[in-house]
Structure 1
Amino acid sequence: MEKQRVEWWQRRSQRLLKVSLSMSLFTLGLMGVYSLHMLFGWNLPFDLLRICNMWMQNHGWFSVSHLLAGLVTCTFVLYVGYGLDQWYGSVRAVRRCRELEHTALTAAFNDRYSPDGQAMFIIVSCRQPLALTMGNWRRRIILSEGLLQLLNEEEQQAVVHHELFHYRQRDPLVTFLLGQAAFALWFLPVLRNMAHQYKISREVLADHDAIQRLGTPLGIGGALLKLVNRTHGGIHFPARMIYSSFAETSLNYRIHRILEPESGTSPRLPLGSVVISLPVLTALSILLLWSLV
């Protein structure tokens, strides 16, 4: 039964990723074609936004046409700005981690968990419990001395295997792309909810991977319980960087799932965001069919 639940979470994360990326690429693609037409006069077929723009102009809705151009410009500015902001924040975060790096512990963890000699871990001298995987291509797993002092050996191993799952699956890159699209396409609120639900799915799967490797849920469950108490005490994680964090997403839900794996409950997308987003996609679909006639 547990295997079926894990497969369900895997399918759920894949569906969320595919649907979110499809919606984002579809909308950004339309805006890209519209921008090419406005900048270079390209008269490309099936340019839905251009058709919409011309239709509004023919009916005298010049202000709406200008708003459409403003929306496209704003979307691309937000998209690029978010990416640059996250990249710059990641560079600063890595630099800060290097300044606080505990060299001996870093070498010990890399020797223990990186048999090929790859520098995967950075252990920082910090009292705050931290465990996260940071970066896109040059990824690093960041652990703090405060975390290692808080957890026992079994709990430490569980957290390490959890972060190794994110490292191998390149979860920071995927969550960054989903977050970037949700931020730029703010008029489709369902994208923000799907990005959040995707992060929950990946955290559940990372927890399961740690449980499978250790053969017991005690390590990951104990680590989550300890970090829940510390998080409620005022721990704040950085937002302006590309990362996946062990203790940021749905701690209480993950603990409940470990205690009652057969409960069958799972987070759902808010109905309001779906209701708001569907008319936008429906309108674009109608324009697409109309342009093909």
Structure 2
Amino acid sequence: MKHSVGTQQGKAQISFALIVCINFIVSSIIITGIVFGVKGYVSDTKAAYESITCCRSICSNCIFTLHTFTTVLPWACVVIFFVGICLAIYKTFFLLFRNYSFIRSLPSISIENHPKLKSIANSAQVSHQLMLLDNNELRSAFTLGLLKPKVYLSLGICSYLTEKEILAVILHEIHHKKNKDPLKLFVIQILYALNFFLPVNRYLLHLFSSASEKAADDNAIYFSKEPLELASALVKLCKSNRATKLYPLAISFKGQNIVEDRIRRLLEPQMAPSCFARTSLYSSCLLSLFIAVILCLSLICKFFTPAHPGDCKTKTCHMIKCG
């Protein structure tokens, strides 16, 4: 099982590194193109406008030309990029505010006030890493915090699960805390919002979520030796009508299929590991590459288009005669 922990954690690390590298490269190219080409976009737009309207009325023949298209295309790329920036800023403040409000709405108490949880935490030597939420209605356990993550358990989950199930859940969350998964997930979601036009981001987000959850499951099993207890805890939490997300940061990402896959994996450890459809991987990668190339080329397309200044005296724009 230790090898399995390393395997799943390796997948999570690779998916995180891929999404960071891909988005960094695409964003760097787009930013560089905009910074060095914005003056040219402005001058080209001004020249195109003067050519189109030099006949003292808008010439339809001059609008639908390659020159006009290559003038408009870079601005479309600029708009898409700034929409991504706005979405990333919104996502950042939304996640931070939502999680801050969520924690502030749930007062915490010392685990010293809960003998059962204290005994479990001491047996696992993690008592100093736990925060107990004073809420009997909430049945939830999650890891929260970017630089210094903490493991939160509610009073509701402590009374709802057995001692072995609670221990399995704690060990699962401790793995998330140790690997700073909330911070990684936060970074991924910001990049996902920034480059919303890249389909591969969604695939990598799904891959990271699945691999990190399975790695945490394997870590819990390795130390507790109780895979069925963890599976039982997952089933109970799924059946309850309470918020059972491991990450409030991941509330916007639908991971029900991941939970079902985790339960099957715990109940049938000998089954072949599930894999994502290769067609989905290839199609998302090819589509993302196509979109990224189009956006990047749109920033430099004017260099491949010969300049043909308009001539208002002959009523000619871009080598086309105005009717």
Kindly tell me: are residues 159 and 240 of structure 1, through their superposed partners in 2, closer, same or farther at Cα, counting changes over 3 Å?
closer
Determine whether 1:255 maps to 2:266: no
Once the two structures are TM-superposed, the CA of residue 281 in structure 1 deviates from its matched residue by 4.2
Query: 1:74 maps to which residue?
Result: 83
Structure 2 residue matching 1:122: 3-state secondary structure: strand
Deviation string for 1:203-259 (max 9, x for gaps)?
1010111111112213212211222322xxx43467995369xx9652211111112
Output the CA distance in 2 between the equivalents of 1:12 and 1:240.
19
TM superposition score normalised by structure 1: 0.77
Kindly tell me: are residues 238 and 157 of structure 1, through their superposed partners in 2, closer, same or farther at Cα, counting changes over 3 Å?
closer
Query: 1:133 maps to which residue?
Result: 143
Partner letter of residue 134 of structure 1? Answer: L
Partner letter of residue 262 of structure 2? Answer: R
Q: Is the 8 A contact 1:110 1:120 kept in 2?
A: no
Query: 1:226 maps to which residue?
Result: 236
Determine whether 1:96 maps to 2:105: yes
Q: Name the structure, 1 or 2, with higher relative contact order (CA <8 Å, separation 6+).
A: 2
Gaps of 5+ in 1: 44-49
Q: Is the 8 A contact 2:141 2:152 kept in 1?
A: yes
Kindly tell me: are residues 238 and 212 of structure 1, through their superposed partners in 2, closer, same or farther at Cα, counting changes over 3 Å?
closer
Query: 1:152 maps to which residue?
Result: 162
Q: How many residues align?
A: 269
Q: Is the 8 A contact 1:124 1:142 kept in 2?
A: no
Q: Is the 8 A contact 2:188 2:205 kept in 1?
A: yes
2:67 maps to which of 46, 59, 65: 59
Once the two structures are TM-superposed, the CA of residue 119 in structure 1 deviates from its matched residue by 5.6
Please show how residues 1-293 of structure 1 align to structure 2 within 5 Å. Answer: 2-37=1-36, 59-61=67-69, 62-98=71-107, 101-103=108-110, 112=121, 118=128, 120-230=130-240, 234-236=241-243, 241-242=248-249, 250-268=258-276, 270-271=280-281, 272-281=283-292
Partner letter of residue 273 of structure 1? Answer: S
Kindly tell me: are residues 280 and 243 of structure 1, through their superposed partners in 2, closer, same or farther at Cα, counting changes over 3 Å?
closer
Q: Is the 8 A contact 1:126 1:145 kept in 2?
A: yes
Larger Rg: 2
CA RMSD of aligned residues (A): 3.5
Q: Is the 8 A contact 1:89 1:240 kept in 2?
A: no
Output the CA distance in 1 between the equivalents of 2:172 and 2:243.
20
Structure 2 residue matching 1:60: 3-state secondary structure: helix
Percent identity for Structure 1 against Structure 2:
20
Gaps of 5+ in 2: 49-65, 302-323
Deviation string for 1:41-72 (max 9, x for gaps)?
6x9xxxxxx9xx99xx9833222222111112
Once the two structures are TM-superposed, the CA of residue 23 in structure 1 deviates from its matched residue by 0.8
Once the two structures are TM-superposed, the CA of residue 27 in structure 1 deviates from its matched residue by 1.5
Q: Is the 8 A contact 2:135 2:154 kept in 1?
A: yes
Q: Is the 8 A contact 1:106 1:121 kept in 2?
A: no
TM superposition score normalised by structure 2: 0.71
Q: Is the 8 A contact 2:140 2:246 kept in 1?
A: no
